[in-house]
Structure 1
Amino acid sequence: MPKINGNEIRPGNVLEHDGGLWAAVKVDHVKPGKGGAFAQVELKNLRDGRKLNERFRSADKVERVRLEQKDMQFLYESDGLLHIMDTETYEQVTIPADILGERRPFLQDGMTIVVEFHEAEALNATLPQKVICKIVDTEPVVKGQTAANSFKPAILDNGVRVMVPPFVGTDEDIVVNTETMEYSERA
């Protein structure tokens, strides 16, 4: 694995530090009035989600890890495990369902997700940015209600509650952004 200097760390880099794998979330380069410059790095553990603030001087060497990204197809879920299949080799793998966090309800049968592996261990999974969902319940349109920046609550077919514009009604398909978990457009 390549070693990089402490001042070369960028957000999104995966580092091997203190015997674990950490993702750099935020990096601030600080030049104090006295002493040498350093990078103040906020790290997040990829295995258990712990956060850590660490200072790296430019002379410090850290191991940068490259994660292998694979397109995988979601098959089914059982006992808190997601059963997924490699789209190239058709090999089936199981990963913990909580790897998706709060985006788990947006996972649909047959959906292709991107899973990041480090030496055959799944560390992260990302859903497509936009997913189509059906509204099962929302308030009816109130006549005379202005469309400018007014939203109403709606419950989707996966149980997630989002805010939608007043013109969207029950049983309509909408596109939801899985990163922000917000209404994007009509489908």
Structure 2
Amino acid sequence: MPKINGNEIRPGNILEHEGGLWAAVKVDHVKPGKGGAFAQVEMRNLRSGSKLNERFRSADKVERVRLEQKDQQFLYETDGMLVFMDSETFEQIELPADLLGERRPFLQDGMTIVVEFHESEALNATLPQKVTCKVVETEPVVKGQTAANSFKPAILDNGVKVMVPPFIAQDEDIIVNTETMEYSERA
């Protein structure tokens, strides 16, 4: 595995540190008046989910890990586990449903997601950036309401609440950004 200097750590990097795999969540470069500069790195453990704040000086060497990414198709959910199938080998794997966190409702039957592996162990799953959902419930359009920066609440078919522009009506399909969990555009 390649070793990088402490000041080369970027958010999203996967690091091997103290015997565990950590994802760099936030990196602040600090230059104190006295002493050498360092990178203050907030990390999340990929296996346990625990957080850790660590200082890395530029002379510190850290091992950067590259995860193998594979497309997996979502089949079904059973006992809090999500079952996925590799689209090339047709092998099935199970991942805990809480791995997706608050983005879990956006997972739809047959959807293809990217699962990241480290030595055949599945560590992370990423949904497509944009997902199409149906608006189940929203307030009717109020005439004369300006479109500039006025949003109204809407409930989607998966139970998630998002803010939508006033021209979106009930039973309309919209595209939601799964990273920000916000309305993106009409479908």
Give your verdict on TM over 0.5.
yes
Cα distance in 1 for residues equivalent to 2:25 and 2:93: 28
Cα distance in 2 for residues equivalent to 1:122 and 1:49: 14
Map 1:106-117 → 2, pairs under 5 A: 106-117=106-117
SS in 2 for 1:83: strand
Matched residue, 1:63: 63
Matched residue, 1:22: 22
SS in 2 for 1:27: strand
| Aligned residue type for 1:16 | E
Matched residue, 1:172: 172
Cα distance in 2 for residues equivalent to 1:185 and 1:4: 40
Please report the RMSD computed on the Cα atoms of aligned residues, expressed in angstroms.
Answer: 1.2
| Aligned residue type for 2:21 | L
SS in 2 for 1:7: helix
TM-score, normalised to structure 1, is 0.95
Residues 156-183 of structure 1, C-alpha deviations (whole Å, 9 max, x = no match): 1000011111111111111111111111
Q: Which runs of 5+ in 2 are unaligned?
A: none
Residues 121-174 of structure 1, C-alpha deviations (whole Å, 9 max, x = no match): 211111111111011111111122221111111111000011111111111111
Map 1:114-133 → 2, pairs under 5 A: 114-133=114-133
Q: Which runs of 5+ in 1 are unaligned?
A: none
- The CA deviation at 1:6 is 1.5
TM-score, normalised to structure 2, is 0.95
Matched residue, 2:185: 185
| Aligned residue type for 1:63 | E
Q: Give the ranges of 4+ consecutive aligned residues of structure 1 lying more than 6 Å apart after TM superposition.
A: none
Cα distance in 1 for residues equivalent to 2:136 and 2:143: 21
